[in-house]
Amino acid sequence: MDEPQPKAHEARSVFLAFLRQGFTAFGGPVAHLGYFHREFVERRGWISDAAFADLLALCQFLPGPASSQLAMAIGLRRAGWAGLIAAWIGFTLPAAMAMMALAYATPALRHALGGGWIHGLKIAAAAIVAQALVSMARNLARGPIRAGMAIGAAAGLVIAHGPIAQIFAILAGAALGFALLRDDAPAPEAPDLAEPGDVRHAAVALCAFALLLAALPFAAAVLQAPLLGLASIFYRTGSLVFGGGHVVLPLLQAEIVDRGWLDRDTFLAGYGAVQALPGPLFSFAAFVGAAQHSATNGWVGGLVALAAIFLPSLLLVAGVLPFWDRLKARPGARAALAGVNAVVVGLLAAALWDPVLQSAVRRPADWALVAAAYVFLAVAKLPPWLVVIGFALGAGFFVR
């Protein structure tokens, strides 16, 4: 167990510990949780098993990327607000820098290698989304009520595209869950053993979260500033992503591709590439922001998009943690979350059909490639990064 350190050094220790995770934590959000438990519970002893389980329950409850939120929560417990920010920067920095570099390199790679490698990335992305969909359906759409909500949301979102339809589906899921799933919501986890934190600072964080969510779209519309518009979209996306990092795909597709800010092939190529990197899937935001060179000055847009998509998680973790013990004990809150999670399964299913499969499958043989990639992931249990690199290189070589 690590010895207590002076406060001035704790945030630095948090940053270095999570920077190591940012370079080595391959395998996606579920794998990240295992890495964190081994590093911060077993090896360093920063938090107990009970506190780790309770923080994980909180991160599953909130919208946003669960593994990144868990990193923020551990940093907050260890070194306060400075630790929260240090944990986020350390865990996110390696993948974010790599994705911004890829955004700049994509045109040159397309010219040098042709379009085959992008096609391979899209095939791998389709298999990864399909695997995530199957896993989420097993966990979040159990039983006839939740399965019906997921199927209904998928059917509705295939017909009605766009962010408004997605927001409506999420709100409808919360309402239906509150009404129909109160007796089916899981019991709360064991109470957190850590100190609850500063309630006043938490209230400020929650107010800032709500104010930014309401004010950013208005400010972007009035000022007509491209970077502010980009921040508004990514902040709203980060506020609505329930169910894990893969759900960012349909939300951003509706906001970015449908507006014509980025072409579908480049968008899906970046999403496929991020699967091969360690760290959070939300670092995909850095690619999308940086790829719009003309509107956002490239790397500046990447940094703005990255900060905006993670900011809701930062504010919610800091704002909800002191109230968590009371909130999680309410059956209505757990039931509403169960309904939202069921609808999110449908949202991801609709995205798997359009744009993922619609873009990746260009000929009958592509169905076989998607199936093969899925078998490598789900049956052979190959790591996603290996499947992504293998299909990108294979398609780049054979498809010109």
pTM of the predicted structure, to 2 decimals: 0.77
**How many domains is the chain partitioned into structurally?**
1
Give the distance from CA 226 to its chain's centroid.
23
Non-local (6+) Cβ contacts of 131 within 8 A are 374, 377, 378
| C-alpha gyration radius of the chain | 20
Q: Which residue matches tokens 């905006």?
A: 308
The domain of 184 spans 7-398
Q: Is residue 1 part of a domain?
A: no
Q: Which residue matches tokens 């930062």?
A: 314
Non-local (6+) Cβ contacts of 56 within 8 A are 33, 66, 70
Q: Is residue 112 part of a domain?
A: yes
Q: Is residue 2 part of a domain?
A: no
In tens digits, what is the pLDDT along the chain, a chain of 400 residues?
A: 454 455 557 899 999 999 999 998 876 776 787 788 889 988 899 988 777 877 876 887 788 888 899 999 999 989 989 999 999 999 999 999 999 998 888 777 665 555 677 788 788 878 887 887 888 788 888 889 999 999 999 999 888 876 678 778 888 988 999 999 887 655 554 444 444 457 888 999 999 999 999 999 999 889 888 889 999 999 999 998 876 667 777 888 888 888 888 888 888 888 888 888 888 989 999 999 998 755 556 889 999 999 999 999 999 999 998 887 777 778 888 888 788 888 888 887 887 887 778 878 888 889 999 999 999 988 998 887 788 888 888 876 665 5
Non-local (6+) Cβ contacts of 277 within 8 A are 26, 94, 95, 98, 99, 283, 385
Q: Is residue 51 part of a domain?
A: yes
Q: How confident is the model at residue 8, as a pLDDT? A: 52
Q: Is residue 24 part of a domain?
A: yes
CA 394 to each of CA 8, 123, 373: distance values in angstroms, whole numbers, following the listed order: 49, 11, 12
* C-alpha span between 332 and 329 (Å, rounded): 9
Work out the angle at residue 359's Cα, subtended by the Cα atoms of residues 133 and 292, and round it to the nearest 5 degrees.
100
Among 316, 391, 335, 351, which Cα is nearest to 73's? 316
Q: Is residue 151 part of a domain?
A: yes
